[in-house]
Amino acid sequence: MIIGLTGSIASGKSTVAKMMTALGLPIVDADKVARDVVEPGTATLALIAESFGQAILQEDGTLNRTKLGDIIFHEPAQRKVLNDIMHPAIRKEMLRQRDAYLEAGSKHVVMDIPLLFESQLQHFVDRIIVVSVSEEVQLQRLMERNQLSQEDALARMHAQLPMSVKEKGAHAVIYNNDSIEHTEGQLKKILTHWDVI
């Protein structure tokens, strides 16, 4: 079974991913893949440099994320150019990793995709777990974790699909407002019900 794991910013999805790793489940991490596909020497980084100029590279050949961010942040057309390069590369590598785990004999693979619904990648997975949290808890965690003002934290939260929409698209929801033990108990119950553990 391919399990999609998603949530919203500061919902605790990474904590749940760690629990799944501890249970022996292989994980394809979309955020890690997004970093890997732009390592020096990759075709993706070469395409980005070709499209945005050599100035977006550091002296050591790595991507200057700040410089690239400055370009795409204010220019929707440039952001689209970048997404058109990045998204296919990320998806291809995620599927390669998923298939490698399956070929190596894994019965179940977790695909940790923060923007699963936003990117419409539901077809990549068989079942979806959404890690959910109340807006109050989410706001508090995000402000503390990222040292943000309430205004900045709310802006980041509202840039994503509402939790209620994600919950509707899920096969199972983990409510992460309480203790770690409570969250882990919910995860184990879901995975037991699905015959994963």
**How far is residue 176's CA from residue 181's CA, in Å, rounded to a whole number?**
10
Closest CA to 132 of 168, 167, 181: 167
Residue numbers in the known binding site are 10-15
For residue 94, the one-letter residue type is M
**How far is residue 119's CA from residue 36's CA, in Å, rounded to a whole number?**
19
Closest CA to 124 of 97, 106, 158: 97
Q: Residue 187 in contact with residue 174, Cβ under 8 Å?
A: yes
Residue numbers in the known binding site for ATP are 10-15
Q: Residue 35 in contact with residue 24, Cβ under 8 Å?
A: no
